[in-house]
Amino acid sequence: MLVEPETIRRAQSGDAAAFSEIIRTYRKRILGTIFRLIGRAEDVEDVGQEVFVRLYYSLDQLRTAEVFEPWLYRLTINASYDYLRKLRRTRSVRMADISLDQLSAADAAESGRRLTDERQKKDIREMMDFLLGHVSEDDRVLLTLKEIEGLSLKDLGEVYHVNENALKVRLFRARKRVLRAYEQLKKQDQL
């Protein structure tokens, strides 16, 4: 945990300085997660702000300081969902919209080459956005948390309140769908 349990307990009892410390400590991580979940840099801070406001008003419901991080992730996911719902964002990137540049960026990434060019980075982001569009919003969030955020199955179990085996099955299916979409895309490119 990035902050001491004592800091969380102080924030729970209304200590503003302790709450500010929590914001300062977690803001980067939370804003990064939000960016990867909603994919719109211009709205990340607004959603992040919403997460911390929700945290402030729900902190007294937190039973123990030890489960603070999964709690914060849950709030982040919910705020991101709400944002996406409000936006009614449809992932309308079609296969035809995927450019050759994006595919070659994916090839480069696949072979483990480091992407240094900003253009290539943008390409790979758009490409993943397209691929993740092949799974449900829930599975997209789950995949993002596991594969991009690097949360362990145990962490995810605490966030979702489900057992690890159920998560494994869901992740397996979601990965398979993403992989199928990617292979289809590559096949199309070869034609």
Partner 1 sequence: MAQDQDLKGWSRLESLFAAYRSACPDPRDSPDFVPRVWAAIESSRPVSWIFPLRLWAQRLALGASLAAALLIGYVTVLQQAPANLDLLEAGQMDALTVESLDEQDAAFWQLASMAENNR
Binding site for partner 1 (CB under 8 A): 16, 20, 23-24, 27-28, 31-32, 34-36, 41, 44-45, 48-50, 52-53, 56-57, 105-106, 108-112, 114-115, 120-122, 124-125, 127-128, 131, 147-148, 175, 178-179, 182-183
Residue 17 to residue 23: CA distance in whole angstroms: 10
**Minimum distance from CB of 150 to partner 1 (Å)?**
8
Rg of the chain on CA atoms, in Å: 19
Q: Which is nearer to partner 1, 22 or 65 (CB)?
A: 22
Q: Which is nearer to partner 1, 15 or 66 (CB)?
A: 15
Q: Which is nearer to partner 1, 32 or 157 (CB)?
A: 32
**Minimum distance from CB of 171 to partner 1 (Å)?**
11
Residue 53 to residue 47: CA distance in whole angstroms: 10
**Minimum distance from CB of 49 to partner 1 (Å)?**
5
Q: Which is nearer to partner 1, 13 or 64 (CB)?
A: 13
User: Where does the chain show beta strands of DSSP type E?
Assistant: none
Half-sphere exposure of 108 (CA within 13 A, CB side): 17
**Minimum distance from CB of 183 to partner 1 (Å)?**
7
Q: Which is nearer to partner 1, 47 or 159 (CB)?
A: 47
Q: Which is nearer to partner 1, 127 or 141 (CB)?
A: 127
**Minimum distance from CB of 152 to partner 1 (Å)?**
15
Find the helix packing angle between 5-12 and 16-38, rounded to 10°.
110
**Minimum distance from CB of 147 to partner 1 (Å)?**
4
Here the tokens at position 43 are 């709205």
Q: Is 88 left (phi over 0), alpha (psi -120 to 50) or beta?
A: left
Find the helix packing angle between 68-87 and 16-38, rounded to 10°.
50
Alpha helices in 144-163 (DSSP H): 153-160
